[in-house]
Chain A
Amino acid sequence: MNFPILTFITFIPLVGAVLLIFIHRDKEDLLRYISLGIVLVAFVFSLFLYFSFNAETPEPQFVEKKPWLAYGIEYHLGIDGISLFLVLLTTFLMPIILLSSWRYIRKRVKEYLILMLILETGIIGVFVSLNLFLFYVFWEAMLIPMYFLIGVWGGKRRIYATLKYVLFTMLGSLLMLVAIFFLHSMYYKAMGVYSLNLFDYYNLILNPGIQIWLFLAFALAFAIKVPLFPFHTWLPDAHVEAPTAGSVILAAVLLKMGVYGFLRFALPLFPDAVMTFLPFLSILCLIGIIYGGLMALVQKDIKSLVAYSSVSHMGLIMLAIFALNVEGVEGAIYQMLNHGLSTGALFLIVGILYERAHTRMIKDFGGVSKQMPVFAAFFLICMLSSVGLPGLNGFIGEILCLFGIFQANKIYAILGVTTVILAAWYLLWMYQRVMQGPITNEKILSFKDMNKREIGYILPIVIMMFWMGIYPNTFLRKMDSSVTHLLNKIKERGIIFTKAQKDKDVVLKIEHKTEKKNTEKEEQFR
């Protein structure tokens, strides 16, 4: 196939952003329709990706590879069963996000839409890049629109929140950059050519002592993004201060970039270091699960409640990945999509409430369901999806994650289950206080139920929730071979080095694992 479809999907929003620059800022509706059209085009084309995706092979598909700059920097795109769904999640949510802020964003509409489109390019770029340079460019470039989205359209403490977000993320990613340089130079010393191609690095076998440092640098960058427990402090601030659309995009997609980073880079590149840090990281996840859940219980602001619930849920996802088995990793990827949908939907729900009440404090609400019955139904479904009710998407993801974790370590699984219990507790309790009981505040009497636009953008999410809950095979079977391949790679490479290590005790040992060398080595060790 000659049509560069990944390039098209990645850059069509950017082209749209450039187009918007030339439209007068007073034509707000025109601007909105054009940007909506562009993100819909991106979505339609990404559907094409799904249908023509070959689930049999773990190799990256729709690959585009062109030389770009010196030093092994190439323009190299491709997707496999893992990134496919993250791209789809992004393109699916983008129109919804634009619709949700259709009337809410009133000042500086033009800048807002331009930044949204640039942001979409950045996010998709992160998921489709196979060259470390390109990946890093998108990873960092994506920060800039987010920085503006929170900083310009955010709440009262927006400047603090946005600077904290940018500086936290930069801290991690700059150290990751140094690790990339280090990999780059080791590859050069070992092979005599420059490369930043991810697949070339997959074939490097590094000394475990070096792996530990490199893994720490990569893991820090991704752990801040996920966020894992001690690095999560930017998240509640950013969520509470961001506008609804910003929160949705942050929770639904940006957090997934951290998990994706672990899956794509940190785990397969440094398998030995992963084994070393596995218990430590799992405990961090567990702390995150319980701490996030308990913090969510005591929040007074609905939005920060949902934000802390994210910390708890992302902890479970990471824990499932660290189980390093097929159930766990597939469950984690599935749960990423679920979390994207359900938390995204919850932020949208909070946004709808906020547009009416101009407050997000739980105590200001009560008995809203009497005034807004349709809204109450949607709220209930989204909330239950986040809790993990059977029949809805959250259940499948959580049960798979827990299966995987249980196989790896029973104690982790028992502790990990608390996320479900805590989620049921804080979400149901919040729902009860906000929606049920007598109407406590006369302002609520003037609330109008959801309008067509609002139903229009929540409905697709709800349909997806049922679909993913009832027939998960649509999604799971596409990722099987990629996930199996990934796990094999991690395990197999770990074994090779442990064997090699016994034999040689070199400080820095880099072997290139071509087919030939590999078989030789296998024989040697037998």
Chain B
Amino acid sequence: MNSFFALFPLLIIVFAALLVLILEVFLKKENKNYLAYISLAFLITCFVVCIKFWNRGYSYFNGNLILDNLSLFLISILILATGFVFLLSMKYISLQNTNYGEFYALLLLALSGVIIMVSSKDLLVIFLGLEVLSISSYALAGLRRDDQKSSEAAIKYFLLGSFATAFLVFGLALLYGSSHSTDISTIIQYFQSEQSLTLMALFGLGMVIIAFGFKIAFVPFHMWTPDVYQGAPTPITAFFSVVPKAAGFTILLRIFLFYWDIALDSQAIFWLLWVISALTMVVGNLLALRQTNLKRILAYSSIAHAGYLLVAILARDNSSLVFYLTVYLFMNMGAFAAVIALSKKDKEYLELEDYAGIGFRYPWIGVTFSIFLLSLAGFPPTGGFLAKFFVFSAAVRQGLVPLVIIAVLASLISVFYYMRIIVYMYMKEPSYNIEITVDNPALFLVLFLCLYGVLQLGLYPGNILLLIKQAVSSIPLL
């Protein structure tokens, strides 16, 4: 239904971003937390709006911006993720001296970019959203301007991100050249017709995949990830590890929803993705083995998880992809929340050595962090296991047995490094004791919510599965 309502979520977020930017000027430094409260209020409003719009199917701008159930579900997920990031940042930015007013505004702008991305099926509009997201992200990565690592992260992210954008535009041009459209469904339909199918179109599609591969961090386009994750302020890292990935996968989902069924020559792209997926899982997990910095470990782990998610794309099981993304949001946010918890004024504890013995000194942080790590490793009865179960069983149903064997062996490797963190927390005697700031209720709220999410999704996801089914089936058939 063509209606102005389709713009509501986007407008709310953009308005909030601008409002925060203006208000920032009038607030004293110690009152900056109000900005977070205001933003959170807007996020909640937007969340409610998304729930209200469920099943309405609004669209605007000639269908270039659509709020089908899939985009609504993903927008809600992304709002949740951003909300968690806000809660994690409130104390963090004053402790780590990153208390700049742009912080919240940039986050909200990045979110608005993602909302554009997930709620469009025109690649040109998606490109606009991607640019909004990217430019805010570059600024966010370099937010700690006195820190060399942070600046390095920003530059790296910017350079490689620009390459990715260039790839996207180039691929888009090739696709437009062959199919005379930038609309995903038209492009995919083009792949159906035999006479006009050219190498150019395939090449264009490959380029688009590569461009999103940069954002999602597939191997071999992952090089920037660990450095950027390490350099960026930790809540921003949490944001990077969930939000752009989810958006990227939504685009891939929209592209490949019908591609496998109708494309005449889908083999080339299929094997391209197959190899990328296998490489991503194996390389991501292997490289994580040698890391000693928590943020780098989580960076490589997030690369590996992108590989598992790609298995879902290859398995054509969109609901398990969305379910995996949902679970991934909770477990990864939770893990980062635990990492952020271990910090004090002007000091973050990020080396494995720092974690020795904290499991018993801070039992709640230890237990919850362990559960998130076990969930990331795919142990039952957590959400991580159920997500992997759905994805891999769908893949086996599609006959991707070798890929699934690679996937489970890769997750065996991952067990080792996730367990290593637990070994440090519980089984090593500390050579020195760290002091942390425990007075951080917002952070503990995030820990609790993520714990709840991980366990609920692992034991009885019930309605969520139903919602996801509705979301995925809401996409109009070609």
- Please tell me if the beta carbons of A151 and B427 are within 8 angstroms of each other in the complex: yes
Q: A143-B379, A158-B427 are in contact. Are A178 and B405 (CB under 8 A)?
A: yes
The proximity string for A residues 54-81 relative to B, scoring 1 for CB distances below 8 Å and 0 otherwise, is 0000000000000011110000000000
Closest to A158 in B: B427
In the complex, B415 has a CB within 8 A of chain A: yes
B261 CB → nearest A CB, Å: 18
Residues in B neighbouring A166, C-beta threshold 8 A: 415, 419
In the complex, A137 has a CB within 8 A of chain B: yes
Contact of B423 among A144, A151, A185 (CB under 8 A): A151
Closest to A217 in B: B405
- Please tell me if the beta carbons of A185 and B465 are within 8 angstroms of each other in the complex: no
- Please tell me if the beta carbons of A178 and B408 are within 8 angstroms of each other in the complex: yes
Residues in A neighbouring B426, C-beta threshold 8 A: 148, 151-152
The proximity string for B residues 417-453 relative to A, scoring 1 for CB distances below 8 Å and 0 otherwise, is 0010011001110000000000000000000000000
- Please tell me if the beta carbons of A69 and B465 are within 8 angstroms of each other in the complex: yes
Residues in A neighbouring B360, C-beta threshold 8 A: 108, 111
In the complex, A350 has a CB within 8 A of chain B: no
A selection of 25 A-B contacts at a CB cut-off of 8 Å is A69-B462, A69-B465, A70-B465, A137-B380, A140-B379, A140-B380, A141-B380, A141-B381, A144-B374, A144-B379, A147-B422, A159-B423, A162-B427, A163-B419, A166-B415, A166-B419, A167-B412, A167-B416, A170-B412, A177-B389, A178-B392, A181-B393, A182-B396, A185-B393, A185-B397
CA distance A82 to B462 in the complex (A): 33
Residues in A neighbouring B401, C-beta threshold 8 A: 178, 182
Closest to B392 in A: A181
B435 CB → nearest A CB, Å: 21
Q: Which residues of B contact A (CB under 8 A)?
A: 360, 374, 379-381, 385-386, 389-390, 392-393, 395-397, 401, 404-405, 408-409, 411-412, 415-416, 419, 422-423, 426-428, 460-462, 465
In the complex, A30 has a CB within 8 A of chain B: no
CA distance A188 to B360 in the complex (A): 47
Residues in A neighbouring B465, C-beta threshold 8 A: 69-70
- Please tell me if the beta carbons of A174 and B408 are within 8 angstroms of each other in the complex: yes
CA distance A170 to B378 in the complex (A): 11
B276 CB → nearest A CB, Å: 21
- Please tell me if the beta carbons of B389 and A133 are within 8 angstroms of each other in the complex: yes
CA distance A81 to B393 in the complex (A): 32
Q: A137-B385, A140-B385, A151-B427 are in contact. Are A177 and B397 (CB under 8 A)?
A: no
- Please tell me if the beta carbons of A71 and B385 are within 8 angstroms of each other in the complex: no
Residues in B neighbouring A136, C-beta threshold 8 A: 380
A220 CB → nearest B CB, Å: 12
The proximity string for A residues 127-160 relative to B, scoring 1 for CB distances below 8 Å and 0 otherwise, is 0000001001110110110011001100000110
Residues in B neighbouring A170, C-beta threshold 8 A: 412, 415
B204 CB → nearest A CB, Å: 34
In the complex, A372 has a CB within 8 A of chain B: no
Interface residues on A, range: 35 or more
CA distance A111 to B465 in the complex (A): 34
Q: Which residues of A contact B (CB under 8 A)?
A: 68-71, 108, 111, 133, 136-138, 140-141, 143-144, 147-148, 151-152, 158-159, 162-163, 166-167, 170-171, 174-175, 177-178, 181-182, 184-185, 188-189
- Please tell me if the beta carbons of A147 and B393 are within 8 angstroms of each other in the complex: no
Residues in B neighbouring A70, C-beta threshold 8 A: 465
Residues in A neighbouring B461, C-beta threshold 8 A: 69
A138 CB → nearest B CB, Å: 8
- Please tell me if the beta carbons of A174 and B411 are within 8 angstroms of each other in the complex: yes
Contact of A188 among B374, B397, B408 (CB under 8 A): B397
Residues in B neighbouring A148, C-beta threshold 8 A: 426
- Please tell me if the beta carbons of A177 and B415 are within 8 angstroms of each other in the complex: no
Contact of B396 among A141, A147, A151, A184 (CB under 8 A): A184
- Please tell me if the beta carbons of B396 and A137 are within 8 angstroms of each other in the complex: no
- Please tell me if the beta carbons of A175 and B408 are within 8 angstroms of each other in the complex: yes
Residues in B neighbouring A151, C-beta threshold 8 A: 423, 426-427
B458 CB → nearest A CB, Å: 9
A265 CB → nearest B CB, Å: 17
- Please tell me if the beta carbons of B419 and A147 are within 8 angstroms of each other in the complex: yes
Closest to A181 in B: B396
- Please tell me if the beta carbons of A185 and B396 are within 8 angstroms of each other in the complex: yes
Residues in B neighbouring A133, C-beta threshold 8 A: 389
CA distance A159 to B386 in the complex (A): 28
Residues in A neighbouring B408, C-beta threshold 8 A: 174-175, 177-178
Residues in A neighbouring B460, C-beta threshold 8 A: 68-69
- Please tell me if the beta carbons of B412 and A71 are within 8 angstroms of each other in the complex: no
Residues in A neighbouring B385, C-beta threshold 8 A: 137, 140
CA distance A136 to B380 in the complex (A): 8
- Please tell me if the beta carbons of B374 and A178 are within 8 angstroms of each other in the complex: no
B455 CB → nearest A CB, Å: 12
Residues in B neighbouring A185, C-beta threshold 8 A: 393, 396-397
Contact of A137 among B374, B381, B395 (CB under 8 A): B381
Closest to B469 in A: A70
Closest to A174 in B: B408
- Please tell me if the beta carbons of A163 and B416 are within 8 angstroms of each other in the complex: yes
Closest to B377 in A: A170
Best-buried of B392, B393, B395, B460 by chain A (most CB within 10 Å) = B393
CA distance A437 to B377 in the complex (A): 53
